[in-house]
Structure 1
Amino acid sequence: MRITKILNNNAVVVMDGDEEKIAIGAGVGYEKKNKDIVNKVKIEKLFVSKESEKLQQLLLRIPEEHFMITEEIIAYAEENLGTKLNDHIRIALTDHISFAIDREKQGIHIKNKLLPEIKVLYKKEFDIGLWAIQHIENKFNMRIPIDEAAFIALHVHAMKIQGGDLHEIVRQTSVLKNMVQTINQKLSIKVESDDIAYERLIHHLRFAMIRLKDNEHHTMDDEMFQMIKRKFPIAYDCAASVAQELSAKHDIHLPEDELGYITLHIERLRNK
């Protein structure tokens, strides 16, 4: 393999046969020049990426150690999730982590308003995020706020093969947060994110939205639905307010069956 471009001391672009690849390894590019042969012993990782040009640009403008620590986080995530992540995470997460480290060095702390929801909805990914911020803290001797664990969790979830678009995941999580806020305001209560009743509610709301997207929904016979309305009028009124808010703000329309189940979850919160 011969070098076609030197990105930094630890990253070079090489030609492997007819295929362009990015070789990563300690000192792989040190005192090298174009057309030199790569010392294969120094290559730790070899990437073939559809987004090779973007990855090269990223490696040219961020510190090498930011890329390397992101690689360690990705490896940890894939091992713990038992799945390969989408190749794009190498760009998206590296860029995010590098920017986050720079921000923290400057004393700029960004709050993640979806932190409580992310902790519940994406628990495995959030645990990976917690490990990641601890790993960054140990490596760079700096404090990283827990909000970053939630940001990293979203990136990891979005890059799972079955994950989805990051913007859509953030939108859905924001909608869920708005629904919980409506319940808080309507009932004049504070729903705590570590409460098991909250976890049940947020999971039900999430899957209700997924069912709507897939044109599916829970079925509840009318007699049961009418009984729930009569027995829990305050909780039902609250559920109806959530549905109205969803319709007005997000053009999402909950069927009555879903309102019945949501009413039961809200009643649990009221009983607490």
Structure 2
Amino acid sequence: MRIFKILNNNAVVVIDGPQEKIVMGKGIAFQKRKNDIIQKQNIEKIFLLHDNSSEKFQQLLATLPEEHIELAEKVISYAEGYLNSPLNDHIHIALTDHLSFALERLEQGFPIQNKLTNEIKLLYKKEYEIGLWAKEEIKKEIGVEIPLDEVAHIALHIHTAKLGGLSMSESLERATILREFIERVEMKLNLTIEESSINYQRLMTHLRFALNRIDQGSEFEPMDVDMMELIKIKYERAFETSKEIAKYLQEEYSVDLPETEIAYISLHLQRLIQK
């Protein structure tokens, strides 16, 4: 392969037959010029991005700090190994751009906030664990301590890059639904839910599986008729709260929870009331 354009010390554009490719490797462009040969043993990654993606990626590689690019690639490689699955090629653009901007903000003293961190942590557990690994790697490599809110941002990028996964907007909507559910429970029941509590964890897990069933078109768990009536009478406040929030989710997000599911959620709310 011959170099067509040098992007940085570790990335070049090559023309391979009729195709333009981005080739990366540690020091692959060191003391190289256009038309020089790239040895195959020095190549670590090859990208063949379509549409305007190739141009966008080239711009990132040519303008962003090389240490930020290397960190993003390390996180992506670790994520693919940890998930045992390749990620969509666009993660190389999305995560690299995001991570570099986040690191620049932190180095300049600007805070990073993410009001959906707890929901992302529960919804996308493996991806959040990858974000925690990235947090340690970034601290080790460049001495920057990223907050847990940034860990959640990284997790969301990884999740949306999974092949066949939800889009970024769908993933954010899923986390927003959970956040709004909790906020409305706190408001209507006049209580504060401790996010570290077992009751919070149980409720969030139940809601997560409920949303998955809706996405997949799966059947909800049935409930005995007598049990249903008992919940409506004995836990009236919890049931009415659950029903009212379910109505809101249906109107705002087209999330249609059947009455049996509303009753099961009421049991979780009753635990919060009793506590």
CA contact (8 A) 2:106 2:112 kept: no
Gaps of 5+ in 2: none
For residue 22 of structure 1, what is the amino acid of its counterpart?
A: I
CA contact (8 A) 2:203 2:265 kept: yes
| Distance in structure 2 (CA, Å) of the matches to 1:80 and 1:39 | 29
For residue 47 of structure 2, what is the amino acid of its counterpart?
A: F
Q: Secondary structure at the match of 1:37?
A: coil
CA contact (8 A) 1:125 1:156 kept: yes
CA contact (8 A) 2:13 2:23 kept: yes
| Distance in structure 2 (CA, Å) of the matches to 1:196 and 1:79 | 31
| Distance in structure 2 (CA, Å) of the matches to 1:215 and 1:139 | 45
- 1:263 counterpart = 2:275: no
Query: Quick check: 70-79 or 248-257, which moved more?
Result: 248-257
CA contact (8 A) 2:202 2:268 kept: yes
Partner of 1:220: 223
CA contact (8 A) 1:23 1:47 kept: yes
Partner of 2:171: 169
Partner of 1:56: 58
Partner of 1:128: 130
How many pairs does the alignment contain? 272
Alpha-carbon distance, 1:248 to partner: 4.1
| Distance in structure 2 (CA, Å) of the matches to 1:148 and 1:213 | 27
Alpha-carbon distance, 1:247 to partner: 3.4
For residue 171 of structure 1, what is the amino acid of its counterpart?
A: E
Q: Secondary structure at the match of 1:238?
A: helix
Alpha-carbon distance, 1:28 to partner: 1.8
Which of 252, 255, 258 is matched with 1:249 structurally? 252
Alpha-carbon distance, 1:60 to partner: 1.7
Q: Secondary structure at the match of 1:228?
A: helix
- 1:73 counterpart = 2:88: no
For residue 208 of structure 2, what is the amino acid of its counterpart?
A: R
| Distance in structure 2 (CA, Å) of the matches to 1:150 and 1:46 | 28
Partner of 1:101: 103
| Distance in structure 1 (CA, Å) of the matches to 2:8 and 2:78 | 25
For residue 109 of structure 2, what is the amino acid of its counterpart?
A: G
For residue 259 of structure 1, what is the amino acid of its counterpart?
A: I
Partner of 2:24: 24
Q: Secondary structure at the match of 2:146?
A: coil
| Distance in structure 2 (CA, Å) of the matches to 1:187 and 1:69 | 45
Partner of 2:205: 203
Gaps of 5+ in 1: none
| Distance in structure 1 (CA, Å) of the matches to 2:215 and 2:80 | 28
For residue 28 of structure 2, what is the amino acid of its counterpart?
A: V
Alpha-carbon distance, 1:96 to partner: 0.7
Partner of 2:243: 240
Partner of 1:194: 196
| Distance in structure 2 (CA, Å) of the matches to 1:119 and 1:269 | 21
CA contact (8 A) 1:208 1:217 kept: no
Which of 88, 91, 109 is matched with 2:90 structurally? 88
RMSD: 1.8
Q: Structure 2 length normalisation: TM-score?
A: 0.92
Q: What CA deviation, in whole Å up to 9, does each residue of 1:46-87 have, x standing for no partner?
A: 223333222112212211111111111111111111211111
| Distance in structure 2 (CA, Å) of the matches to 1:16 and 1:248 | 53
Q: Secondary structure at the match of 1:54?
A: helix
For residue 10 of structure 2, what is the amino acid of its counterpart?
A: N
Q: Structure 1 length normalisation: TM-score?
A: 0.92
Q: What CA deviation, in whole Å up to 9, does each residue of 1:122-169 have, x standing for no partner?
A: 111111101101211211112211111000111111111232101110
| Distance in structure 2 (CA, Å) of the matches to 1:18 and 1:240 | 60
| Distance in structure 2 (CA, Å) of the matches to 1:247 and 1:21 | 46
| Distance in structure 1 (CA, Å) of the matches to 2:147 and 2:243 | 37
Partner of 1:2: 2
Partner of 2:11: 11
Alpha-carbon distance, 1:212 to partner: 3.0
CA contact (8 A) 2:157 2:168 kept: yes
- 1:33 counterpart = 2:36: no
Query: Quick check: 140-149 or 188-197, which moved more?
Result: 188-197
For residue 240 of structure 1, what is the amino acid of its counterpart?
A: K
Q: Secondary structure at the match of 1:173?
A: helix
